[in-house]
């Protein structure tokens, strides 16, 4: 009896050639991540988790902040969270530091344009209050810092000490030896208390309405009643409507919990290869499944991060993807 050769059924031929339906694990082939890609992914995950922490605190307060809520909002896993943060206090501390850095950078830029101590204080104060008014989630983070754990409270004390140092710069302008040493700390504590109370009762008025009264209170011990009255009567600069209309949302506002690693790789490739088609983008990021890359591109387009610049439409006309302005913002924020 002749030896039986290899099985030649259709099923066997498909198995030998790799044909037939692909399993989910083979439908997407990824190019191995480099060290730079790993770093970018970690930074993106950190940004998503911090954004989720800010929104969680804004809605629930620090007392009810939980890792479970943060990872649910960020669309991440608990394992990812603990790879980046030790616990919820550390996540909140990082969110607090980011908030202070953002507000501080804006205030510093505004203050740098002024020549006098009063001018720098007023410009910085007005900028901070306007920032908190426009971004109430950040305001809630600052307000909730007084309810944090030991590390958060220590950081809060450092922030208040730095503000007191800035305020006490008026000592050089004061007569004689100036007010007692603890004056600056008392003024800062009083101002923070007033702002916090206004945050709790927004119906009482806007935060920027406090600029004159707070400046009058701060200036009085250093410059006397005349200067205090002048600050109280000085009008707050109105924000131009044009500038307000052009204000862009924070780069990750509203979408930080919806960006996946694959979506960010696609976004980075489109930014570097404007006009690329679906297939070219898929080849560039290592996705061989046409349906998968189409879904990713459609998702990024629906979020307003990329645009299809193809002329005309219909069957046979390839897409030509390019980065959208907000997508470019996110790309630079996450350093894609």
Do 210 and 291 belong together in one domain?
A: no
* In-domain check, residue 278: yes
pLDDT number for residue 186: 96
Residues 152 and 278 in one domain: no
What mean pLDDT is reported for the chain?
80
Instruction: Please say which residue of 183, 205, 238 terminates a domain.
Output: 238
- Does residue 318 share a domain with residue 207? no
pLDDT of residue 10: 44
- Within 10 angstroms of residue 246's Cβ, the number of other Cβ atoms is 8
Residue with tokens 């800062």: 188
Beta-bridge partner residues of 308 = 321
- 67-86: per-residue pLDDT in tens? 999 999 888 899 999 999 99
Within-domain flag for 254: no
248: which 2 tokens?
Answer: 């862009």
Q: Do 208 and 316 share a domain, yes or no?
A: no
Mean pLDDT check: name the lowest of 113-127, 167-181, 205-219: 167-181
CB atoms within 10 A of CB 99: 22
pLDDT at site 4: 47
The confidence band for 18, taking pLDDT boundaries of 50, 70 and 90, is very low
Residue 79 lies in a domain: no
Residue 246 included in any domain = no
Q: Is the pLDDT of residue 204 over 70?
A: yes
**Domain harbouring 218, CATH code:** 1.10.357
Same domain for 207 and 320, yes or no, is no
What pLDDT does residue 47 have? 83
Residue 336: pLDDT over 80: no
At 195, the pLDDT band (50, 70, 90 cuts) reads: very high
Same domain, 206 and 268: no
Residues 140 and 230 in one domain: yes
160 and 231 both lie in a single domain: yes
Give the 3-state secondary structure of residue 71: helix
Task: Give residue 73's pLDDT.
Answer: 87
281 touches 230 (CB < 8 A)? no
pLDDT of residue 329: 73
CATH number at residue 312: 1.10.10.10
pLDDT at 66 over 90: yes
The pTM of the whole model exceeds 0.85: no
What is the domain range of residue 97? Answer: 91-238
Q: Both 206 and 324 in a single domain?
A: no
The answer to whether residue 287 is domain-embedded is yes
Is the pLDDT confidence value at 98 over 60? yes
Return the higher-pLDDT residue of 21 and 292. Answer: 292
Give residue-wise pLDDT tens across range 252-293.
555 544 566 677 778 888 888 888 888 888 887 777 788 888
Q: Is 289 in contact with 28 (CB distance < 8 Å)?
A: yes
Q: How many separate domains does the chain show?
A: 2
Question: In this structure, are 162 and 198 located in the same domain?
Answer: yes
Which of the listed residues 207, 238, 269 is the one where a domain comes to its end? 238
């Amino acid at each position: 009896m002749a030896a039986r050769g290899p099985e030649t059924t259709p099923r066997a031929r498909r198995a030998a050639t790799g044909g037939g339906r692909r399993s989910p694990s083979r439908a997407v082939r990824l190019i191995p991540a480099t060290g730079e890609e790993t770093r970018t992914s970690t930074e993106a995950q950190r940004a998503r988790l911090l954004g989720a922490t800010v929104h969680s605190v804004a809605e629930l307060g620090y007392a009810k902040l939980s890792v479970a809520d943060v990872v649910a909002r960020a669309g991440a896993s608990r394992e990812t969270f603990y790879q980046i943060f030790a616990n919820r206090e550390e996540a909140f501390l990082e969110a607090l530091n980011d908030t202070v850095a953002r507000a501080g950078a804006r205030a510093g830029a505004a203050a740098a344009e002024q020549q006098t101590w009063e001018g720098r204080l007023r410009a910085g104060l007005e900028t901070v209050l306007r920032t908190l008014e426009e971004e109430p989630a950040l305001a809630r983070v600052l307000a909730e810092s007084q309810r944090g754990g030991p590390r958060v409270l220590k950081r809060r004390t450092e922030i208040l000490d730095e503000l007191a140092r800035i305020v006490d710069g008026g000592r050089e302008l004061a007569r004689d030896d100036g007010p007692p040493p603890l004056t600056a700390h008392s003024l800062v504590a009083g101002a923070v208390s007033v702002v916090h109370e206004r945050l709790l009762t927004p119906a009482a008025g806007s935060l920027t309405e406090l600029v004159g009264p707070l400046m009058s209170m701060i200036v009085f011990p250093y410059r006397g009643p005349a200067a205090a009255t002048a600050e109280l009567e000085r009008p707050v600069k109105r924000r131009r409507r044009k500038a307000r209309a052009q204000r862009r949302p924070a780069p990750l506002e509203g979408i930080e919990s919806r960006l996946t690693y694959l979506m960010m790789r696609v976004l980075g490739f489109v930014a570097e290869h404007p006009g690329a088609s679906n297939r070219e983008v898929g080849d560039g990021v290592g996705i061989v499944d046409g349906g998968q890359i189409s879904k990713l591109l459609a998702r990024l387009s629906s979020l307003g991060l990329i645009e299809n610049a193809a002329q005309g439409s219909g069957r046979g006309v390839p897409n030509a993807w390019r980065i959208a302005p907000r997508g470019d913002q996110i790309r630079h924020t996450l350093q894609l």
